[in-house]
Structure 1
Amino acid sequence: MRRQDIVQRLGRLLLFAGVLAVLGGRGLVAQTTTGTIRGYVKDQNGAPLSGAQVQATNVATSVARSTTTGSDGSYVLPGLSPGTYDVIARHIGNSPARRRIVVQIGATLLADFALPAGAVTLAPVVVQAANPAETRTSEVATNVTPLQIQQLPTPSRNFLDLAVLAPGVTVTEDRIGGVSRTFTAGGQPSTSVNIFVDGSSLKNDLTAGGVTGQDASKGNPFPRGAIQEYRVISQNFKAEYQKASSAVITATTRSGSNTWTGSVLYGYQNKSFVALDSFQRATPKFSKPAYSRSLLSASVGGPIQHNRLFFFGAYEGNYQNRSNLVDFGAIPAGYPALTAVNFPQYNGNFGSPFRETMLFGKVTYAASSTSSAEVSFSNRHETDVRDFGKVNCPGFVCAFTEAVNYRQNVSIGQVRYNMFKGPWLNETKVDYSRFRRNPSPNTPGLPAQIYQWNNQDHVIGSNFSTQDFIQRRVGIRNDLTYTGFRAHGEHVIKVGASFDFVTYDVFKGNDETPRFYYRDTVTTRGLYGYATPYQLIYGTGNAKLKKNNNEFGWYAQDDWSPSPQLTINLGIRWDFESNMFNASYVTPQMVIDTLTRYNDSLPTPLDLSQFISTGSNRKPFYGAFQPRLGFSYALDPESRTTIFGGWGLYYDRSIFDISVDETLKLTHPTYTVSFADPDSTAKPGETTWNNSYFTADKTTLDALAHTSGKPEAWLIGKNVKVPRSRQWNLGVRRGGGGISLTYATRSLQGVDGLGDVFAFPNALNIPHHPANDEKTHIVANWVMDVPYASGFLFSGLITLGSGFLQDVGCPLRFCGAGYERGGFTPERVGFIIPNAFAYRNVDLRLAKDFPNISGTTMRVTLDLFNAFNYQNLGCFDTGSKTNLSFGHASCVVSDPRRLQVGAEYTF
């Protein structure tokens, strides 16, 4: 039997086992959204106390969880919602003891109790040591706390901003002219990451960006006011996390408590609060474009029924008004046709508004002492009129009519039911999500005209394309934890399975706006003098595609503690998708005939059997087995210092958009029509220009386009690899001082470069190479009361980087000589350490609280971003070291100093 057949049969067996787990499992609260307290209960002499009761009570809601210790005195309380808990240990014949512990998402905290001999129930409760720090994990992870979320300066209230606190994680700059906010880690692209909010995956299956709504949006993926805290795991995450070969973020949302609380916040920034960068200062008579941003947030939460039923709701708004300058510059003289266009009528400053509104609501029900339920819903809606002037129009000057209106909507609904009894813990979750990405022309119905002079395109008319991507997902997940198994130590065993039923609705009307190209002279074609176009590019046909995809995942994990000092994490995960690469696609005979006819003429002929799809020979990938191993060992009895490490295999997925093109490039091809110059007879391959062709009418254009050219073929191999990475790490962690030193590596397979879609079929001149990632990246943060100034809070965030290496010249596989990978290093300057950093940024916040009656507070905030106005240079000339301008920068990669004022009222 072939290895592939064995893998497929084993995969089907696991699929069946997963169905049984989902339908019949007793369930578990997954570690993706909760924390764990574990430890030992002993007497005053250090002897274990068997049968002791350990109870953890949530201070905010009075909801309690309890368990009993085993024969060795050990206990485990998994599945605790993040928050503050009073943990009490009781044993007959001993005085009880209590500790107040803050449980963080994804963290395992150690809390040992020593109960002195004495009376049982009426003895006073003893408050023991302060909250422990998490040191006993093999993950390379950073918890972003509620205090940091609330107090650290971030420009746009995007909760992703603070992911930079995790080592190896980079977040896209918040910039006034920015169009995208994503995060990356380990040198991999943003498509390799994932975010979980309350256990629901926000993975974008369709397009780039990794997270729904983030591939081309400056907005926030989730309302920050609804996020309680989150955990960034940049290396060696456990088997319960899926669809990521890089880093994951797991966040938990806020819940109501037994006290009604709320807040209203407003932040404001405009152009007078923004300094100039060095390039703007060097521009004569530079005038700041119009700009303002208002950030609004409101939240409220409290009890519907004390100790049982709670509500929390949040609203977040990000409303920006900016303008882009359109300036076509000097128009070449001597061309009456150019004069007739009247380019000056398109010049000026035009508005580029961005609007984002986010809502979140959650109801939590403590049904009994052994079960709870939760229902939540969130919605994000945004519009963004952009991509005109010279903003996001590289190499172009675009009129306002060329702007795109980028609409997005993300809705997520979730129902969770948790059950816990004795050593068993259960979570069952059902969720529904809908993501829509819909960029379209802001001024539709106009043919586009592109006039070329001075090596630049000057564009008037409508935006080129309309797209409408919709991803619908129904997900079912069940996880099961058992803490009662003890063999050669204590075990926390977890198994779980998930099913996602996904539908992709795609409309990809690329190039449906006809583009007419004009220039003075076209080499080998003739003299046009801008009077008539020399070329038309136009897409037409059926731009729709609808496909279904079933996604399944199954995992098993054992956190085994053979001794109080040693914990070993053993896990295995398996993932499967039925239609990641559009498995039912059939290569048209026309494409097969063309490939067969010309294959021998290629520099390196293709193995056509790999690229011709019959609808049944492109099998789903069954081999996504992912073993994961980790350990932590405490060097002292208090577990203050630990050695930790891990190794794992992590499979990601390829976005479906790449499979879409295989179909739509044939059913909705883009045609190129060449027009003869106005004073010549049309040669073969050319069409004589007629003024009736200048239209946006599809009937006329379709008839014209079909007389010229053939569709483009997009080929995907039948054995295409799924992206995966291997990760290992080794480090030492010291609690108390919060010091951690980790060495981590990650290797990636399934693509050629870290930004390419697939590996090239011909690997000639494509050597293996490291990513040009930043070698050194330092982030520091603080939150402190201002000494001798009552009510003042001072916080800040410092980010330093050594700079990204950049390639010199053109890659060897395209150009050859003169290429040097990573051959340019940006100039480094000092920040405490001389000549160490190419990137420097310091963000500061000063807040003043004004207490009011009945426990309400008014706060005034002053944020200063890039406080020292550091000029972080970019856009370096790295074309050739012989260029006089080699290494010269032509832009900055971060905005200059910005001030933001705000106020917040809390009750």
Structure 2
Amino acid sequence: MVSRNFGVGRMVATALCLAAAARLGAQVSTASLTGIVTDPTGARVPGVRLTLTNEQTGVATTAESSASGEYTFALLSPGRYTLSTDAAGFKSASWPGILLELGRVTRLDITLQLGQVDEKIVVTGEAPLLESETSTVGQFIENRTITDMPLNNRRVGEIMALMGHAVYITGDVIRPRYTIAGSRSDSQQWLIDGVNASNIALEVSQALFNPPVEAVQEIRVQQNAYSAEFGNSAAGVIAMTTRSGTNRLTGLLYEYFRNDKLNARNFFASTRPPLRWNAFGGAAGGPVIRNKTFFFVNVEFQRQRLSNVRTLTVPTPEQIRGDFSKTTTAAGALIPIFDPFSNHPNPANPSQILRTQFPGNVIPPSRLDAAAVRIAALFPPPNRPPVNLAGASNWNAANTNALNITTGTGKFDHHFSERDRLSARIIVHDFPTYNTAAFPTPAADPNASSSDRRAFSYLFNHLHSFSPTFINDLRFNYQPRRFHNMSRGLGENWPSKLGLKGVSDRAFPRVDVAGYTSLGATPHERVQIPIHDTHLVDAVSIFRGSHSLRTGGELRLARNVDNFYQLVSGQLSFAIQATAQPGVANTGNALASMLTGFVSAASVRSTDELDRRAKYLAFFVQDDWKVTRNLTLNLGLRWEAHTPRFDANDRINGFDRDKINPVSNTPGIVTFANRDGYSRSLYNGDYNNFMPRFGFAWKVPFLSRTVVRGGYGVFFGPPLPGSNNTSAGFETSGSFSSPDNSLTPAFLLRDGFPSTSRPQLWPGYGAVPVGQPVRFAPEFLEPNRRIGYSQQWNFVLQRELGWLAVVEVSYVGNVGHKLPGPSVSINQVHPSQMGPGNAQIRRPFPQFGNVTTVTPFIGNSSYHGVNVKVEKRFSDGLNFLGNYTFSKFIDDVTSDQEVGEVGGIQDIYNRRAEKALSGNDVRHRFVYSSTYELPWGKGRRWLTRGPAAMTLGGWALGAIVTLQAGSPDGLVTQVNTTNAFNGVQRVNLLRNPTLPKSERKLERWFDTSAAVAPPPYNFGTAGRANLISPGLATLDLSIMKNHRFLERYNLQVRLEAFNSLNRVNLEDPGRALGAPTFGVITAARSARTLQAGLKLTF
């Protein structure tokens, strides 16, 4: 929140003038055809009438070659076309079967033949595959690949895993996450039919829709140096078009299913978890009025019941009774348990605090806290042998994750005339989930929760041609949705049953016991209704001579109403340090700490209704200038701005680091929207986001099948508040923590939570006098935050090989600045003041607990990658795409999602120490995908008739091979002994912890003896990234048998195998020094999964 306002009128006016003065020719969801008309001598021919006809819809568009002989057809629906010419003194000619792809300018130069107009010739052959008009690095995926590849979940988002410079991170059926060319997954732009399909209500680039493959026609991913038409993304653009109807009535019905009886057992599971998975639906499309009006509809239902096997660490019955006489380290050494209330000074060193060990390492029954005993009884009992002497992974069971996904798509296209085209499209998505409990007490299971998600997208697109060289494209998209998340135990009065005081009975409390599984799911409940995203974009394309120009603007409006009962019944944290000898490693146990009632940290939170809103405004210009027949320049400029987020009811807090707090007389006060001279916004606006774009494409004259391309651009991402937590003063909340690293408790469990009554909204809000136990932990967004951006460049060499194949070598560079990092507390003790005793009074803001800046834009990154691609478009029954990427990715902040685990910030005062290999650094990656129709049967090369054609014909194969190196991991301590209230504590390394391959075992994947805990009150000296996790190797296969009958019907029987060779792909080892799982691998990725399908098309 800020105390000053920014005017944007001058910048907006500048951008408007700039946009009004230019014209450009890129496109979001359409295709273009361009070229030069010449006579047999090579002279350019003006005034030639050209007609381009869509072969599926019959819709025709006309154009005329310019004075320089150039022609352009823009903003066309992707598909196959026939081009015909008509010019006096030349023979009429036609070029059938021209494939125009989504987001691509296809070039087709024409040479006319002398003769009479009534003499007709037909020219056969495919349009060139070379990208000779643009500098963008990306990938186009045709419909056949989308439908025939073995794609897990049958969703188009899986397609991105086939591309170079891209790595899959994580995600669910609807929200897949990738890192593209050194970018962050939270900064991508998802587009469907040219409009936003991302979560702009939270100002993050999170996919809202991941349509089934049967609903999508084509996909194009732009990875680096894309046109100025694209913005709000520093991490690539994923654009797709939904299918449209044609002059032919077509349809399909399909069902795919999986069952655990068909699958292999996971390497770490004793049995195959029960699975029932079905995806079924249908589609139909065709003409309403031939050559004029068309429709398409698709509906899919996906039902899944999956038992999720979990291996966790739970207390033994002896430990629950307070008996820790058999609790040891992984090496078998007894872990002493000390009385947390026996603190006394060391006679030999009075500054050192000592504790007394419980006799026999057993907590006397009279010392057990009653509420803690009730809570401990809710842990499930061990049901399997532990993997080591420390008792790790001694419980294994499955809970069922239920999904009931319904997705529908409907599209209507109407051509009023050659000048006007209208398209309307709706997407409906219903995605409820329900996770059953595996714990004996369902409410205690941290995985037991359910959610109700629904989203809609309504698109209206009007295309108007003032002339063949002046076209306007107007799009409007409205996306309402809702989200309701619920934990188990709502309304069951669990705090009263457990004897936990001071919190609401609404939900089961969250209990975190270090070294063991947690109890209770979070958040307790969240209701986001309504959520609205509105997107308006208008662009004009004008063609003048050798210039193809386009200009336009965008407006996005976002609203998110949020009722968040995050921790309405409280969260309790119990630390090892409470029953440890201060400063001595391998002492103490967090369950023992809980049984004594020693609470190290706790929080409670429930907000009033929030109504957060934001706007986005952008203008762009792009000129694709054909300098010569062989050289094209792509010149663009974009300006965009996100207005600062605000709450309709001013329920927002900020934080002023400099103002003196009247309660503590120290710097730091909580501020409130529209009060005391502070504005309504979370932060200042960032209005200087100008983004130049430059690129070239040169078709080498003496190598007619070779193109050299290159480009550079600046790209800003979304503002990413991502959180509604900045609502202090408008919530029931409290944050309590030990002031001295668990020498004294935050409070005693038997006393319950301290009072959380709401204080008045004033500069002393939430503060306490220095030295008193803190009660509040503010969260805020930096008032002068600046949106992160990247500078991207590329150099590409592309060569056409013939037989519809190309080879491409691309170098991509990407340097990021002001990138979003993890939320971090700025209330860390300075390293010069670290030491024993009460650290709370040494914090910069001792009147508060953690003071957290949410998603600070503080990061930097660099990526350099070379990709070799060989691609063959479908012909003669075969297509394939192969990519090998060699890259290096460095950053200094952890991304929102990472392949590896390098951890958060250790010391906010020494950010330079954070620079290391990114958790998303994958040094080597090879992926090959292909579909192949076997050359037997009717219409193929051999065995074209008779019984052999029936039996052997119609078979097809699909395959995806993925070979991927591991990603970096970082080693940290389980027990943070810095006493500095910092994020993590890294280890000290005595040597390189990586073991030779021959010495790696599941129970010791790396040299655990190479890592030691830093001395108390010191940071670890190791960097963020210390070792490389296991890699990935999979082969996915599909086998299809097509049987045609009654001329127009085709029945396809299909079998798919994911990880068909059942290779064990291990997950990361445990990386917390002192934890029972340190250095131990306890999980693997999915084993072989079979999927069968049946599809009828007509």
Question: TM-score of the superposition, structure 2-length normalised?
Answer: 0.70
CA distance in structure 2 between the aligned counterparts of 1:157 and 1:749, rounded to whole angstroms: 36
Q: Any conservation in 2 of the 1:465–1:513 contact (CA below 8 Å)?
A: no
Q: CA deviation at 1:242?
A: 1.3
Residue 434 of structure 2 aligns to a residue whose secondary structure is: strand
Q: 2:1022 is matched with which residue? A: 819
CA distance in structure 2 between the aligned counterparts of 1:778 and 1:65, rounded to whole angstroms: 42
Work out which of the residue numbers 91, 102, 105 in structure 2 matches 1:105.
102
Q: 1:193 is matched with which residue? A: 188
Q: 1:674 to 1:804 in 2, by over 3 A?
A: closer
Q: Is 1:334 the equivalent of 2:321?
A: yes
CA distance in structure 2 between the aligned counterparts of 1:774 and 1:906, rounded to whole angstroms: 41
Q: 2:454 is matched with which residue? A: 409
Q: 1:654 is matched with which residue? A: 719
Q: CA deviation at 1:784?
A: 0.8
Q: Any conservation in 1 of the 2:190–2:207 contact (CA below 8 Å)?
A: no
Q: 1:684 to 1:898 in 2, by over 3 A?
A: closer
Work out which of the residue numbers 229, 242, 264 in structure 1 matches 2:218.
229
Q: Any conservation in 2 of the 1:403–1:463 contact (CA below 8 Å)?
A: no
CA RMSD of aligned residues (A): 4.2
Q: Any conservation in 2 of the 1:865–1:897 contact (CA below 8 Å)?
A: yes
Q: 1:5 to 1:734 in 2, by over 3 A?
A: farther
Q: 2:819 is matched with which residue? A: 751
Q: CA deviation at 1:74?
A: 1.2
CA distance in structure 2 between the aligned counterparts of 1:482 and 1:399, rounded to whole angstroms: 63
CA distance in structure 2 between the aligned counterparts of 1:541 and 1:748, rounded to whole angstroms: 36
Residue 268 of structure 2 aligns to a residue whose secondary structure is: helix
Q: Is 1:778 the equivalent of 2:926?
A: yes
Give the 5 Å matches for 1:413-428. Answer: 413-420=458-465, 421-428=467-474
Work out which of the residue numbers 426, 437, 443 in structure 1 matches 2:483.
437
CA distance in structure 1 between the aligned counterparts of 2:193 and 2:265, rounded to whole angstroms: 41
Q: Is 1:492 the equivalent of 2:548?
A: yes
Residue 620 of structure 2 aligns to a residue whose secondary structure is: strand
CA distance in structure 1 between the aligned counterparts of 2:120 and 2:261, rounded to whole angstroms: 61
CA distance in structure 1 between the aligned counterparts of 2:511 and 2:756, rounded to whole angstroms: 23
Report which stretch shifted further, 398-407 or 567-576.
Answer: 398-407
Q: Is 1:905 the equivalent of 2:1096?
A: yes
Q: Any conservation in 1 of the 2:556–2:617 contact (CA below 8 Å)?
A: yes
CA distance in structure 2 between the aligned counterparts of 1:532 and 1:297, rounded to whole angstroms: 55
Residue 822 of structure 1 aligns to a residue whose secondary structure is: coil
Q: 1:786 to 1:668 in 2, by over 3 A?
A: same
Q: Is 1:355 the equivalent of 2:503?
A: no
Q: Deviations over 1:739-766 (max 9, x none)?
A: 1101111111113758964328855444
Residue 459 of structure 1 aligns to a residue whose secondary structure is: coil
Q: 1:96 is matched with which residue? A: 92
Q: 1:645 is matched with which residue? A: 710
Q: Is 1:269 the equivalent of 2:269?
A: no
Work out which of the residue numbers 667, 671, 679 in structure 1 matches 2:734.
671
Q: 1:499 to 1:843 in 2, by over 3 A?
A: same
Q: Any conservation in 2 of the 1:107–1:134 contact (CA below 8 Å)?
A: no
Q: Any conservation in 1 of the 2:719–2:788 contact (CA below 8 Å)?
A: yes
CA distance in structure 1 between the aligned counterparts of 2:1056 and 2:767, rounded to whole angstroms: 58
Q: 1:79 is matched with which residue? A: 75
Q: Is 1:570 the equivalent of 2:635?
A: yes
CA distance in structure 1 between the aligned counterparts of 2:68 and 2:281, rounded to whole angstroms: 50
Q: CA deviation at 1:731?
A: 1.3
Q: 1:528 to 1:193 in 2, by over 3 A?
A: closer
Q: Is 1:875 the equivalent of 2:1068?
A: yes
CA distance in structure 2 between the aligned counterparts of 1:148 and 1:257, rounded to whole angstroms: 20
Q: CA deviation at 1:48?
A: 1.3
Which sections of structure 2, spanning at least 5 residues, go unmatched?
323-364, 384-396, 495-507, 581-589, 739-743, 759-765, 824-854, 860-907, 937-951, 974-981, 987-1018
Give the 5 Å matches for 1:24-423. Answer: 31-99=27-95, 100-120=97-117, 122-136=118-132, 137-172=134-169, 181-207=176-202, 210-213=205-208, 221-280=210-269, 286-324=270-308, 330-331=316-317, 332=319, 334=321, 338=373, 341=377, 350-386=399-435, 389=438, 399-400=444-445, 403-420=448-465, 421-423=467-469
CA distance in structure 1 between the aligned counterparts of 2:1058 and 2:141, rounded to whole angstroms: 20
Q: 1:734 is matched with which residue? A: 799
Residue 869 of structure 1 aligns to a residue whose secondary structure is: coil
Q: Deviations over 1:405-457 (max 9, x none)?
A: 12211111011111122211221112211233332224412332567778314
Work out which of the residue numbers 791, 795, 798 in structure 1 matches 2:961.
798
Residue 431 of structure 2 aligns to a residue whose secondary structure is: strand
Q: 1:739 to 1:521 in 2, by over 3 A?
A: closer
CA distance in structure 2 between the aligned counterparts of 1:505 and 1:225, rounded to whole angstroms: 33
The amino acid across from 2:434 in the alignment is V
Q: 1:640 to 1:9 in 2, by over 3 A?
A: same
Q: Any conservation in 1 of the 2:204–2:722 contact (CA below 8 Å)?
A: no
Q: 1:306 to 1:528 in 2, by over 3 A?
A: closer
Q: Any conservation in 1 of the 2:959–2:1037 contact (CA below 8 Å)?
A: yes
Q: Deviations over 1:65-93 (max 9, x none)?
A: 11111122111111111001011122111
The amino acid across from 1:368 in the alignment is S
Q: 1:719 to 1:787 in 2, by over 3 A?
A: same
Q: CA deviation at 1:223?
A: 3.4
Question: TM-score of the superposition, structure 1-length normalised?
Answer: 0.84
Q: Any conservation in 1 of the 2:510–2:570 contact (CA below 8 Å)?
A: no
Q: Deviations over 1:44-66 (max 9, x none)?
A: 22221110112110011000111
Q: 1:714 to 1:699 in 2, by over 3 A?
A: closer
Q: Any conservation in 2 of the 1:18–1:497 contact (CA below 8 Å)?
A: no
Q: CA deviation at 1:891?
A: 2.2
Q: Any conservation in 1 of the 2:618–2:640 contact (CA below 8 Å)?
A: yes
Residue 252 of structure 2 aligns to a residue whose secondary structure is: strand
Residue 47 of structure 1 aligns to a residue whose secondary structure is: coil
Q: 1:201 to 1:14 in 2, by over 3 A?
A: farther
Report which stretch shifted further, 763-772 or 97-106.
Answer: 763-772
Q: Deviations over 1:213-254 (max 9, x none)?
A: 4xxxxxx62233211001011111100011110111111111
The amino acid across from 2:1083 in the alignment is C
Residue 874 of structure 1 aligns to a residue whose secondary structure is: coil
Residue 162 of structure 1 aligns to a residue whose secondary structure is: helix
Q: 1:582 to 1:131 in 2, by over 3 A?
A: same
Q: CA deviation at 1:800?
A: 1.4
CA distance in structure 2 between the aligned counterparts of 1:685 and 1:565, rounded to whole angstroms: 73
Residue 272 of structure 2 aligns to a residue whose secondary structure is: coil
- Give identity over the alignment, percent: 20
Q: CA deviation at 1:132?
A: 2.0
Q: Any conservation in 2 of the 1:28–1:418 contact (CA below 8 Å)?
A: no
Q: 1:853 is matched with which residue? A: 1046
Give the 5 Å matches for 1:334-733. Answer: 334=321, 338=373, 341=377, 350-386=399-435, 389=438, 399-400=444-445, 403-420=448-465, 421-446=467-492, 447=494, 448=508, 455-459=515-519, 464-468=524-528, 470-483=530-543, 485-486=544-545, 490-515=546-571, 523=579, 530=595, 537=602, 539-540=604-605, 542-580=607-645, 614-615=678-679, 618-636=683-701, 639-658=704-723, 660-662=724-726, 664-672=727-735, 686=747, 689=750, 710-733=775-798
Q: CA deviation at 1:36?
A: 1.0
CA distance in structure 2 between the aligned counterparts of 1:795 and 1:236, rounded to whole angstroms: 32
Q: CA deviation at 1:465?
A: 3.7
Q: 1:638 to 1:66 in 2, by over 3 A?
A: farther
Residue 774 of structure 1 aligns to a residue whose secondary structure is: coil
CA distance in structure 1 between the aligned counterparts of 2:717 and 2:638, rounded to whole angstroms: 12
Q: CA deviation at 1:865?
A: 0.7
Q: Deviations over 1:796-829 (max 9, x none)?
A: 11111122123344799855334134331246xx
CA distance in structure 2 between the aligned counterparts of 1:886 and 1:521, rounded to whole angstroms: 18
Q: CA deviation at 1:334?
A: 3.5
